[in-house]
Amino acid sequence: MRHAISTAAMIVALVLSGCSYNTLQSTDEQIKASWAEVLNQYQRRADLVPNLVNTVKGFAAQEKDVLLGVADARSKVGGIQATPELINDPDAFSKFQQAQSQLSGALSRLLMVTESYPELKSDTNFRDLQAQLEGTENRITVARNRYIKAVQEYNTVVRSFPGNLTAMLFGYQTKPGFGVDNEQEISSAPKVDFGAPASTGK
Amino acid sequence: MKPASLITRKTVQRLHCCYFILLCLALAVSHVQAEVAVPPLKRHVTDLTATLSAQEVASLEQRLAAFESTGGSQIAVLMIPTTQPEAIEQYAMRVAETWKPGRKGIDDGVLLLIAKNDRALRIEVGYGLEGAITDAAAKRIIAEIITPLFKQGHFGTGIQAGLEAVMRLIQGEALPPPQAKPSANTPSDLDNFLSILIFSLLLGRVLQVFLGRLAGSGVTGVGLGFVGWLISSSVMMAIIIAIVAFVLNLFLHANPGIYRAGRGWSGHDRYRGGFGGGGFGGGGFGGGGASGRW
Protein backbone atom coordinates (compact mmCIF):
# COMPACT_ATOMS: atom_id res chain seq x y z
CA MET A 1 0.00 0.00 0.00
CA ARG A 2 2.61 2.48 1.12
CA HIS A 3 4.91 1.22 -1.58
CA ALA A 4 2.21 1.83 -4.16
CA ILE A 5 1.71 5.41 -3.01
CA SER A 6 5.40 6.24 -2.95
CA THR A 7 5.94 4.62 -6.34
CA ALA A 8 3.05 6.63 -7.74
CA ALA A 9 4.51 9.85 -6.33
CA MET A 10 7.84 8.98 -7.86
CA ILE A 11 6.29 8.28 -11.25
CA VAL A 12 4.30 11.53 -11.20
CA ALA A 13 7.46 13.44 -10.32
CA LEU A 14 9.36 11.74 -13.11
CA VAL A 15 6.66 12.26 -15.72
CA LEU A 16 6.09 15.89 -14.83
CA SER A 17 9.72 16.84 -15.01
CA GLY A 18 10.35 14.56 -17.98
CA CYS A 19 7.79 16.43 -20.06
CA SER A 20 9.36 19.77 -19.19
CA TYR A 21 6.48 20.94 -17.02
CA ASN A 22 8.94 22.66 -14.71
CA THR A 23 10.78 24.36 -17.56
CA LEU A 24 7.45 25.60 -18.82
CA GLN A 25 6.71 27.12 -15.43
CA SER A 26 10.07 28.78 -14.97
CA THR A 27 10.21 30.21 -18.49
CA ASP A 28 6.66 31.48 -18.12
CA GLU A 29 7.62 33.24 -14.91
CA GLN A 30 10.70 34.65 -16.64
CA ILE A 31 8.48 36.16 -19.31
CA LYS A 32 6.21 37.73 -16.73
CA ALA A 33 9.15 39.24 -14.90
CA SER A 34 10.81 40.62 -18.01
CA TRP A 35 7.52 41.95 -19.34
CA ALA A 36 6.94 43.73 -16.03
CA GLU A 37 10.35 45.32 -16.49
CA VAL A 38 9.42 46.48 -20.00
CA LEU A 39 6.23 48.07 -18.68
CA ASN A 40 8.15 49.58 -15.80
CA GLN A 41 10.62 51.31 -18.09
CA TYR A 42 7.93 52.52 -20.48
CA GLN A 43 6.14 53.96 -17.47
CA ARG A 44 9.33 55.68 -16.42
CA ARG A 45 9.58 57.31 -19.82
CA ALA A 46 5.94 58.38 -19.75
CA ASP A 47 6.53 59.97 -16.35
CA LEU A 48 9.43 61.96 -17.73
CA VAL A 49 7.44 63.44 -20.60
CA PRO A 50 5.39 66.15 -18.79
CA ASN A 51 8.53 67.56 -17.17
CA LEU A 52 10.39 67.53 -20.45
CA VAL A 53 7.54 69.18 -22.33
CA ASN A 54 7.26 71.91 -19.70
CA THR A 55 10.97 72.64 -19.78
CA VAL A 56 11.03 72.87 -23.54
CA LYS A 57 7.90 75.03 -23.50
CA GLY A 58 9.74 77.56 -21.36
CA PHE A 59 12.29 78.16 -24.10
CA ALA A 60 10.58 77.18 -27.31
CA ALA A 61 6.87 77.79 -26.92
CA GLN A 62 6.53 78.49 -30.65
CA GLU A 63 7.16 74.84 -31.52
CA LYS A 64 3.50 74.11 -30.92
CA ASP A 65 3.12 71.26 -33.39
CA VAL A 66 5.94 69.24 -31.98
CA LEU A 67 4.92 69.86 -28.37
CA LEU A 68 1.34 68.95 -29.13
CA GLY A 69 2.49 65.81 -30.92
CA VAL A 70 4.36 64.67 -27.82
CA ALA A 71 1.45 65.47 -25.52
CA ASP A 72 -0.86 63.60 -27.88
CA ALA A 73 1.31 60.52 -28.05
CA ARG A 74 1.78 60.60 -24.29
CA SER A 75 -1.95 60.63 -23.65
CA LYS A 76 -2.43 57.76 -26.08
CA VAL A 77 0.14 55.73 -24.20
CA GLY A 78 -1.57 56.62 -20.94
CA GLY A 79 -4.92 55.53 -22.34
CA ILE A 80 -3.83 51.94 -22.82
CA GLN A 81 -4.16 49.76 -19.79
CA ALA A 82 -0.64 48.40 -19.46
CA THR A 83 -1.41 45.19 -17.63
CA PRO A 84 0.64 42.02 -17.47
CA GLU A 85 -2.21 40.30 -19.34
CA LEU A 86 -1.31 42.32 -22.42
CA ILE A 87 1.07 39.63 -23.62
CA ASN A 88 -1.78 37.14 -23.94
CA ASP A 89 -3.76 39.39 -26.26
CA PRO A 90 -1.97 39.94 -29.59
CA ASP A 91 -4.33 42.76 -30.65
CA ALA A 92 -3.90 44.81 -27.51
CA PHE A 93 -0.20 44.02 -27.58
CA SER A 94 0.30 45.47 -31.06
CA LYS A 95 -1.80 48.52 -30.13
CA PHE A 96 0.39 49.07 -27.12
CA GLN A 97 3.48 48.75 -29.29
CA GLN A 98 2.11 51.24 -31.78
CA ALA A 99 1.36 53.81 -29.11
CA GLN A 100 4.82 53.43 -27.60
CA SER A 101 6.62 53.75 -30.90
CA GLN A 102 4.53 56.82 -31.71
CA LEU A 103 5.73 58.37 -28.47
CA SER A 104 9.31 57.43 -29.38
CA GLY A 105 8.93 59.21 -32.69
CA ALA A 106 7.35 62.30 -31.13
CA LEU A 107 10.09 62.50 -28.51
CA SER A 108 12.88 62.26 -31.03
CA ARG A 109 11.24 65.01 -33.09
CA LEU A 110 11.05 67.14 -29.97
CA LEU A 111 14.72 66.63 -29.22
CA MET A 112 15.61 67.40 -32.83
CA VAL A 113 13.78 70.71 -32.60
CA THR A 114 15.57 71.66 -29.39
CA GLU A 115 18.82 71.64 -31.36
CA SER A 116 18.08 75.15 -32.59
CA TYR A 117 17.68 76.61 -29.09
CA PRO A 118 21.15 77.05 -27.59
CA GLU A 119 19.75 78.53 -24.38
CA LEU A 120 17.56 75.51 -23.85
CA LYS A 121 20.44 73.18 -24.61
CA SER A 122 22.63 74.75 -21.96
CA ASP A 123 19.86 74.70 -19.35
CA THR A 124 20.90 72.38 -16.53
CA ASN A 125 17.40 71.14 -15.93
CA PHE A 126 16.97 70.27 -19.58
CA ARG A 127 20.32 68.55 -19.74
CA ASP A 128 19.47 66.39 -16.76
CA LEU A 129 16.10 65.52 -18.22
CA GLN A 130 17.76 64.67 -21.49
CA ALA A 131 20.25 62.39 -19.73
CA GLN A 132 17.37 60.70 -17.92
CA LEU A 133 15.47 60.23 -21.15
CA GLU A 134 18.54 58.82 -22.84
CA GLY A 135 19.07 56.41 -19.96
CA THR A 136 15.44 55.38 -19.99
CA GLU A 137 15.47 54.72 -23.71
CA ASN A 138 18.49 52.52 -23.17
CA ARG A 139 16.77 50.71 -20.32
CA ILE A 140 13.76 50.13 -22.55
CA THR A 141 16.00 48.61 -25.20
CA VAL A 142 17.63 46.32 -22.64
CA ALA A 143 14.29 45.32 -21.12
CA ARG A 144 12.82 44.60 -24.55
CA ASN A 145 15.80 42.49 -25.54
CA ARG A 146 15.49 40.49 -22.34
CA TYR A 147 11.79 40.03 -22.92
CA ILE A 148 12.46 38.80 -26.45
CA LYS A 149 14.99 36.31 -25.13
CA ALA A 150 12.57 35.07 -22.46
CA VAL A 151 9.78 34.66 -25.01
CA GLN A 152 12.07 32.79 -27.33
CA GLU A 153 13.03 30.37 -24.60
CA TYR A 154 9.43 29.82 -23.59
CA ASN A 155 8.16 29.43 -27.14
CA THR A 156 10.87 26.90 -27.86
CA VAL A 157 9.66 24.80 -24.94
CA VAL A 158 6.01 25.17 -25.94
CA ARG A 159 6.63 24.18 -29.54
CA SER A 160 9.22 21.45 -29.27
CA PHE A 161 8.45 17.84 -28.57
CA PRO A 162 7.77 16.83 -25.02
CA GLY A 163 6.84 20.37 -24.03
CA ASN A 164 4.15 20.84 -26.67
CA LEU A 165 2.07 18.00 -25.22
CA THR A 166 2.31 19.41 -21.73
CA ALA A 167 1.56 22.89 -23.00
CA MET A 168 -1.52 21.60 -24.81
CA LEU A 169 -2.63 19.72 -21.72
CA PHE A 170 -2.29 22.74 -19.43
CA GLY A 171 -3.36 25.33 -21.98
CA TYR A 172 -0.10 27.18 -22.48
CA GLN A 173 0.21 29.06 -25.75
CA THR A 174 3.08 30.76 -27.53
CA LYS A 175 3.59 34.38 -26.57
CA PRO A 176 4.19 37.28 -28.94
CA GLY A 177 7.64 38.77 -29.22
CA PHE A 178 8.17 42.18 -30.73
CA GLY A 179 7.13 41.21 -34.24
CA VAL A 180 9.01 41.50 -37.50
CA ASP A 181 7.17 44.72 -38.39
CA ASN A 182 8.97 46.73 -35.78
CA GLU A 183 12.24 44.85 -35.78
CA GLN A 184 13.92 47.99 -37.03
CA GLU A 185 12.91 49.86 -33.91
CA ILE A 186 14.15 47.16 -31.64
CA SER A 187 17.66 47.15 -32.98
CA SER A 188 17.95 50.92 -32.96
CA ALA A 189 16.70 52.89 -29.99
CA PRO A 190 15.32 56.32 -30.87
CA LYS A 191 18.33 58.56 -31.38
CA VAL A 192 18.59 61.00 -28.51
CA ASP A 193 22.33 61.46 -28.79
CA PHE A 194 23.23 65.11 -28.56
CA GLY A 195 26.96 64.79 -28.42
CA ALA A 196 27.31 65.36 -32.14
CA PRO A 197 25.03 68.25 -33.17
CA ALA A 198 22.77 67.94 -36.19
CA SER A 199 23.66 64.31 -36.79
CA THR A 200 20.02 63.63 -37.69
CA GLY A 201 19.37 65.61 -40.83
CA LYS A 202 15.93 66.45 -42.08
CA MET B 1 -7.28 19.66 -59.13
CA LYS B 2 -4.09 20.67 -60.85
CA PRO B 3 -1.44 18.57 -59.24
CA ALA B 4 1.30 19.84 -61.57
CA SER B 5 0.89 23.48 -60.66
CA LEU B 6 0.49 22.54 -57.02
CA ILE B 7 3.79 20.74 -57.07
CA THR B 8 5.54 23.62 -58.76
CA ARG B 9 4.12 26.04 -56.24
CA LYS B 10 5.30 23.81 -53.46
CA THR B 11 8.74 23.53 -54.98
CA VAL B 12 8.93 27.27 -55.36
CA GLN B 13 7.90 27.69 -51.75
CA ARG B 14 10.54 25.23 -50.69
CA LEU B 15 13.13 27.03 -52.73
CA HIS B 16 12.14 30.29 -51.12
CA CYS B 17 12.44 28.60 -47.79
CA CYS B 18 15.93 27.40 -48.62
CA TYR B 19 17.00 30.82 -49.79
CA PHE B 20 15.60 32.34 -46.66
CA ILE B 21 17.47 29.90 -44.46
CA LEU B 22 20.70 30.46 -46.39
CA LEU B 23 20.27 34.19 -46.08
CA CYS B 24 19.67 33.87 -42.37
CA LEU B 25 22.75 31.73 -41.98
CA ALA B 26 24.86 34.15 -43.95
CA LEU B 27 23.58 37.02 -41.86
CA ALA B 28 24.15 35.11 -38.66
CA VAL B 29 27.72 34.22 -39.62
CA SER B 30 28.62 37.73 -40.69
CA HIS B 31 26.97 39.05 -37.55
CA VAL B 32 29.03 36.82 -35.31
CA GLN B 33 32.25 37.65 -37.11
CA ALA B 34 31.66 41.36 -37.01
CA GLU B 35 30.89 41.77 -33.32
CA VAL B 36 33.72 42.72 -31.03
CA ALA B 37 34.31 39.94 -28.53
CA VAL B 38 34.17 40.63 -24.81
CA PRO B 39 37.74 40.28 -23.52
CA PRO B 40 38.43 37.95 -20.59
CA LEU B 41 38.30 39.56 -17.19
CA LYS B 42 41.65 39.54 -15.42
CA ARG B 43 41.81 42.70 -13.37
CA HIS B 44 39.76 45.78 -12.58
CA VAL B 45 41.49 47.73 -15.34
CA THR B 46 41.76 46.32 -18.85
CA ASP B 47 43.41 48.45 -21.50
CA LEU B 48 43.49 46.86 -24.95
CA THR B 49 44.60 50.05 -26.69
CA ALA B 50 47.94 50.36 -24.92
CA THR B 51 47.10 53.97 -24.10
CA LEU B 52 47.72 53.90 -20.39
CA SER B 53 51.22 53.43 -19.04
CA ALA B 54 51.92 50.44 -16.82
CA GLN B 55 52.22 52.83 -13.92
CA GLU B 56 48.81 54.38 -14.56
CA VAL B 57 47.19 50.97 -14.85
CA ALA B 58 48.83 49.83 -11.63
CA SER B 59 47.74 52.88 -9.65
CA LEU B 60 44.16 52.66 -10.96
CA GLU B 61 44.14 48.96 -10.21
CA GLN B 62 45.34 49.57 -6.68
CA ARG B 63 42.79 52.32 -6.09
CA LEU B 64 39.89 50.19 -7.33
CA ALA B 65 41.01 47.13 -5.39
CA ALA B 66 41.26 49.23 -2.21
CA PHE B 67 37.83 50.69 -2.87
CA GLU B 68 36.39 47.23 -3.31
CA SER B 69 37.89 45.96 -0.07
CA THR B 70 36.58 48.92 1.96
CA GLY B 71 33.16 49.46 0.42
CA GLY B 72 32.50 46.22 -1.43
CA SER B 73 31.45 47.83 -4.69
CA GLN B 74 33.26 46.64 -7.79
CA ILE B 75 34.29 49.04 -10.53
CA ALA B 76 35.69 47.79 -13.81
CA VAL B 77 37.42 49.79 -16.50
CA LEU B 78 37.67 48.60 -20.08
CA MET B 79 39.41 50.48 -22.84
CA ILE B 80 39.08 49.10 -26.36
CA PRO B 81 39.73 50.50 -29.83
CA THR B 82 36.16 50.24 -31.10
CA THR B 83 32.74 48.74 -30.42
CA GLN B 84 31.69 48.89 -34.09
CA PRO B 85 29.35 47.73 -35.54
CA GLU B 86 27.51 47.75 -32.25
CA ALA B 87 26.57 50.94 -30.46
CA ILE B 88 28.57 51.54 -27.30
CA GLU B 89 25.43 50.97 -25.22
CA GLN B 90 24.91 47.48 -26.63
CA TYR B 91 28.51 46.49 -26.24
CA ALA B 92 28.68 47.89 -22.69
CA MET B 93 25.65 45.80 -21.80
CA ARG B 94 27.29 42.67 -23.17
CA VAL B 95 30.46 43.34 -21.19
CA ALA B 96 28.46 44.02 -18.03
CA GLU B 97 26.46 40.82 -18.49
CA THR B 98 29.63 38.81 -19.02
CA TRP B 99 31.82 40.31 -16.32
CA LYS B 100 29.04 40.92 -13.81
CA PRO B 101 30.79 43.50 -11.64
CA GLY B 102 29.11 44.12 -8.30
CA ARG B 103 28.03 41.81 -5.54
CA LYS B 104 25.24 39.35 -6.21
CA GLY B 105 21.94 40.63 -4.91
CA ILE B 106 23.36 44.06 -4.11
CA ASP B 107 24.22 44.76 -7.73
CA ASP B 108 26.70 47.48 -6.87
CA GLY B 109 28.91 47.31 -9.92
CA VAL B 110 30.03 50.01 -12.32
CA LEU B 111 31.63 49.61 -15.72
CA LEU B 112 33.54 52.42 -17.37
CA LEU B 113 33.87 51.58 -21.04
CA ILE B 114 36.00 53.65 -23.39
CA ALA B 115 36.02 53.07 -27.14
CA LYS B 116 39.04 55.12 -28.05
CA ASN B 117 38.81 55.24 -31.85
CA ASP B 118 35.05 55.82 -31.72
CA ARG B 119 35.77 58.70 -29.33
CA ALA B 120 32.93 57.41 -27.18
CA LEU B 121 32.63 56.31 -23.60
CA ARG B 122 29.96 54.99 -21.31
CA ILE B 123 29.41 54.58 -17.60
CA GLU B 124 27.23 51.52 -17.06
CA VAL B 125 25.62 51.46 -13.63
CA GLY B 126 24.39 48.36 -11.80
CA TYR B 127 20.84 48.12 -10.48
CA GLY B 128 21.87 48.74 -6.89
CA LEU B 129 23.67 51.99 -7.66
CA GLU B 130 21.08 53.57 -9.94
CA GLY B 131 19.97 55.70 -7.00
CA ALA B 132 23.48 56.87 -6.12
CA ILE B 133 24.67 57.38 -9.69
CA THR B 134 21.63 58.64 -11.55
CA ASP B 135 21.73 58.92 -15.32
CA ALA B 136 22.04 62.68 -14.98
CA ALA B 137 24.94 62.34 -12.53
CA ALA B 138 26.73 59.89 -14.82
CA LYS B 139 26.19 62.23 -17.76
CA ARG B 140 27.68 65.12 -15.77
CA ILE B 141 30.72 63.11 -14.77
CA ILE B 142 31.26 62.29 -18.42
CA ALA B 143 30.59 65.76 -19.79
CA GLU B 144 32.22 67.86 -17.09
CA ILE B 145 35.06 65.73 -15.75
CA ILE B 146 36.14 63.05 -18.18
CA THR B 147 35.67 64.36 -21.71
CA PRO B 148 37.46 67.71 -21.18
CA LEU B 149 40.56 65.76 -20.16
CA PHE B 150 40.14 63.21 -22.95
CA LYS B 151 39.95 66.04 -25.47
CA GLN B 152 43.43 67.07 -24.42
CA GLY B 153 44.62 63.49 -24.66
CA HIS B 154 44.97 62.97 -20.90
CA PHE B 155 43.39 59.55 -20.73
CA GLY B 156 44.96 58.37 -17.50
CA THR B 157 44.00 61.45 -15.50
CA GLY B 158 40.59 61.59 -17.14
CA ILE B 159 39.79 58.03 -16.10
CA GLN B 160 41.16 58.62 -12.64
CA ALA B 161 39.19 61.83 -12.08
CA GLY B 162 36.03 60.22 -13.40
CA LEU B 163 36.42 57.18 -11.17
CA GLU B 164 37.04 59.37 -8.11
CA ALA B 165 33.76 61.17 -8.81
CA VAL B 166 31.97 57.83 -9.23
CA MET B 167 33.46 56.53 -5.98
CA ARG B 168 32.40 59.67 -4.10
CA LEU B 169 28.83 59.09 -5.26
CA ILE B 170 28.94 55.44 -4.23
CA GLN B 171 30.29 56.34 -0.81
CA GLY B 172 27.22 58.49 -0.21
CA GLU B 173 25.05 55.40 -0.61
CA ALA B 174 24.40 53.12 2.35
CA LEU B 175 25.47 49.70 1.12
CA PRO B 176 26.10 46.57 3.15
CA PRO B 177 29.74 46.29 4.26
CA PRO B 178 32.00 43.89 2.39
CA GLN B 179 32.34 40.37 3.72
CA ALA B 180 35.64 39.21 5.13
CA LYS B 181 35.74 36.51 2.50
CA PRO B 182 34.09 37.84 -0.62
CA SER B 183 32.52 34.57 -1.61
CA ALA B 184 29.26 33.71 -3.20
CA ASN B 185 27.39 32.17 -0.28
CA THR B 186 24.48 30.78 -2.19
CA PRO B 187 23.87 27.13 -1.39
CA SER B 188 25.17 24.94 -4.16
CA ASP B 189 23.74 21.61 -5.21
CA LEU B 190 26.37 19.94 -3.10
CA ASP B 191 25.32 21.88 0.00
CA ASN B 192 21.73 20.94 -0.66
CA PHE B 193 22.69 17.34 -1.22
CA LEU B 194 24.58 17.09 2.05
CA SER B 195 21.93 18.78 4.15
CA ILE B 196 19.26 16.60 2.58
CA LEU B 197 21.22 13.48 3.43
CA ILE B 198 21.73 14.56 7.01
CA PHE B 199 18.07 15.37 7.30
CA SER B 200 17.23 12.02 5.77
CA LEU B 201 19.11 10.18 8.49
CA LEU B 202 17.09 11.90 11.19
CA LEU B 203 13.80 11.46 9.36
CA GLY B 204 14.61 7.87 8.52
CA ARG B 205 15.29 7.11 12.15
CA VAL B 206 11.90 8.44 13.20
CA LEU B 207 10.00 6.79 10.39
CA GLN B 208 11.68 3.47 10.96
CA VAL B 209 10.41 3.44 14.51
CA PHE B 210 6.83 3.77 13.27
CA LEU B 211 6.88 1.89 9.97
CA GLY B 212 9.61 -0.64 10.39
CA ARG B 213 13.04 -0.75 8.83
CA LEU B 214 12.34 -1.36 5.15
CA ALA B 215 9.19 0.75 4.76
CA GLY B 216 10.66 3.56 6.82
CA SER B 217 13.74 3.72 4.63
CA GLY B 218 11.63 3.49 1.50
CA VAL B 219 9.33 6.36 2.46
CA THR B 220 12.31 8.46 3.50
CA GLY B 221 14.04 7.79 0.22
CA VAL B 222 11.04 8.72 -1.88
CA GLY B 223 10.23 11.76 0.23
CA LEU B 224 13.78 13.06 0.14
CA GLY B 225 14.03 12.33 -3.56
CA PHE B 226 10.95 14.47 -4.07
CA VAL B 227 12.42 17.28 -1.97
CA GLY B 228 15.65 17.03 -3.93
CA TRP B 229 13.72 17.23 -7.17
CA LEU B 230 11.96 20.36 -5.98
CA ILE B 231 15.21 22.01 -4.96
CA SER B 232 17.49 21.04 -7.80
CA SER B 233 14.72 20.46 -10.39
CA SER B 234 16.72 17.67 -11.90
CA VAL B 235 15.46 14.13 -12.00
CA MET B 236 18.90 12.61 -11.89
CA MET B 237 19.67 14.46 -8.69
CA ALA B 238 16.36 13.35 -7.21
CA ILE B 239 16.94 9.71 -8.06
CA ILE B 240 20.44 9.78 -6.66
CA ILE B 241 19.25 11.39 -3.46
CA ALA B 242 16.39 8.93 -3.13
CA ILE B 243 18.63 5.89 -3.62
CA VAL B 244 21.37 7.16 -1.33
CA ALA B 245 18.89 8.12 1.36
CA PHE B 246 17.20 4.72 1.10
CA VAL B 247 20.44 2.74 1.28
CA LEU B 248 21.90 4.86 4.04
CA ASN B 249 18.82 4.54 6.17
CA LEU B 250 18.45 0.85 5.53
CA PHE B 251 21.98 -0.09 6.50
CA LEU B 252 23.51 2.72 8.49
CA HIS B 253 20.96 2.89 11.24
CA ALA B 254 22.08 -0.54 12.34
CA ASN B 255 25.19 1.06 13.79
CA PRO B 256 25.15 4.17 15.98
CA GLY B 257 28.18 5.82 14.39
CA ILE B 258 26.23 7.72 11.75
CA TYR B 259 25.52 10.79 13.80
CA ARG B 260 29.18 11.46 14.09
CA ALA B 261 29.54 10.94 10.39
CA GLY B 262 26.76 13.44 9.79
CA ARG B 263 28.46 16.05 11.91
CA GLY B 264 31.70 15.49 10.06
CA TRP B 265 30.04 16.36 6.75
CA SER B 266 28.31 19.46 7.93
CA GLY B 267 31.51 20.68 9.50
CA HIS B 268 33.15 20.98 6.09
CA ASP B 269 34.12 24.50 5.20
CA ARG B 270 33.35 25.38 1.65
CA TYR B 271 34.95 28.54 0.37
CA ARG B 272 34.80 29.70 -3.12
CA GLY B 273 37.34 32.12 -4.53
CA GLY B 274 36.46 35.79 -4.73
CA PHE B 275 37.98 38.24 -7.15
CA GLY B 276 41.59 37.64 -8.06
CA GLY B 277 41.60 34.39 -9.92
CA GLY B 278 38.10 34.31 -11.31
CA GLY B 279 35.70 37.15 -11.81
CA PHE B 280 33.40 39.65 -10.23
CA GLY B 281 30.55 38.86 -7.93
CA GLY B 282 27.54 38.60 -10.20
CA GLY B 283 25.92 42.04 -10.13
CA GLY B 284 22.90 42.76 -12.30
CA PHE B 285 22.56 45.56 -14.85
CA GLY B 286 19.50 47.02 -16.47
CA GLY B 287 20.95 49.60 -18.82
CA GLY B 288 21.33 52.51 -16.39
CA GLY B 289 24.08 55.06 -16.81
CA ALA B 290 25.07 57.48 -19.52
CA SER B 291 27.18 57.70 -22.65
CA GLY B 292 29.15 60.54 -24.11
CA ARG B 293 31.53 61.47 -26.86
CA TRP B 294 34.57 63.66 -27.05
Per-residue pLDDT tens for B216-240? Answer: 778 877 887 777 777 666 777 778 8
Domain of A144 in residue numbering reads as 2-185
What distance in Å separates residue A128's CA from the closest CA in chain B?
A: 5
Report yes or no on A200 lying in a domain.
no
Give the CB-side neighbour count of residue B186, counting CA atoms within 13 A: 8
What distance in Å separates residue A139's CA from the closest CA in chain B?
A: 5
**Partner-chain contact B222 A9, CB within 8 Å:** yes
Domain holding A112: CATH number? 1.20.1440.20
Q: What is the pLDDT of residue B133?
A: 93
- B194 CB near a chain A CB, below 8 Å? no
User: What is the complex's ipTM, to 2 decimals?
Assistant: 0.74
What is the distance, to the nearest Å, from the Cα of residue A137 to the centroid of all Cα atoms in its chain? 10
Report yes or no on A69 lying in a domain.
yes
Per CB-CB distance under 8 Å, the chain B contacts of A142 are 93, 285-287
Q: What is the pLDDT of residue B117?
A: 94
Q: What is the pLDDT of residue B140?
A: 93
**Segments in chain A below pLDDT 50:** 180, 186, 197-202
DSSP chain B: --HHHHHHHHHHHHHHHHHHHHHHHHHHHHHHHHSPPPPPP-SSEEESS--S-HHHHHHHHHHHHHHHHHH--EEEEEEES--TTS-HHHHHHHHHHHH--S-TTT--EEEEEEETTTTEEEEEEEGGGTTTS-HHHHHHIIIIIIHHHHHTT-HHHHHHHHHHHHHHHHHTS--PPPPSS----S--HHHHHHHHHHHHHHHHHHHHHHH-HHHHHHHHHHHHHHHHHHHH--HHHHHHHHHHHHHHHHHHTTSTTHHHHHHHHHT-------TTTS------EEEEEEEEE-
Per CB-CB distance under 8 Å, the chain A contacts of B225 are 10, 13
Report yes or no on A194 lying in a domain.
no
**Segments in chain B below pLDDT 50:** 1-2, 181-185, 255-278
Read off the DSSP letter of residue B179.
P
- Is the pTM higher than 0.90? The answer reads no
What distance in Å separates residue A188's CA from the closest CA in chain B?
A: 9
Report yes or no on A191 lying in a domain.
no
- A181 CB near a chain B CB, below 8 Å? no
How many structural domains compose chain A?
1
CB atoms within 10 A of CB A53: 19
Please name the residues in contact with A197: beta carbons below 8 A apart, sequence gap of 6 or more.
A115
- Give the strand order in the sheet containing B74-80: B45-47, B74-80, B109-115, B120-126, B285-293
Read off the DSSP letter of residue B40.
P
Report yes or no on A202 lying in a domain.
no
Report yes or no on A196 lying in a domain.
no
3-class DSSP state of B209: helix
Nearest to B127 by CA among B93, B171, B178: B93
**Partner-chain contact B215 A3, CB within 8 Å:** yes
Per CB-CB distance under 8 Å, the chain B contacts of A135 are 135, 138, 287-290
Report yes or no on A190 lying in a domain.
no
List, in sequence order, the alpha helices (H) in chain A.
2-18, 21-59, 64-79, 90-114, 118-121, 124-159, 161-170, 183-187
Q: For the segment A113-162, what is each residue's pLDDT rounded down to a tens digit? A: 888 899 898 899 999 999 999 999 999 999 999 999 999 999 998 888 88
Cis peptide before B85 (omega within 30 of 0): yes
**Partner-chain contact B289 A135, CB within 8 Å:** yes
- In whole angstroms, give the CA distance from residue A142 to residue B228: 35
Report yes or no on A128 lying in a domain.
yes
Q: For the segment B27-65, what is each residue's pLDDT rounded down to a tens digit? A: 555 555 578 899 988 889 999 999 999 999 999 999 999
Instruction: For residue B286, give the nearest of A10, A17, A142 by CB distance.
Output: A142
List, in sequence order, the alpha helices (H) in A19-63.
21-59
Q: Are B121 and B146 in contact (CB under 8 A)?
A: yes
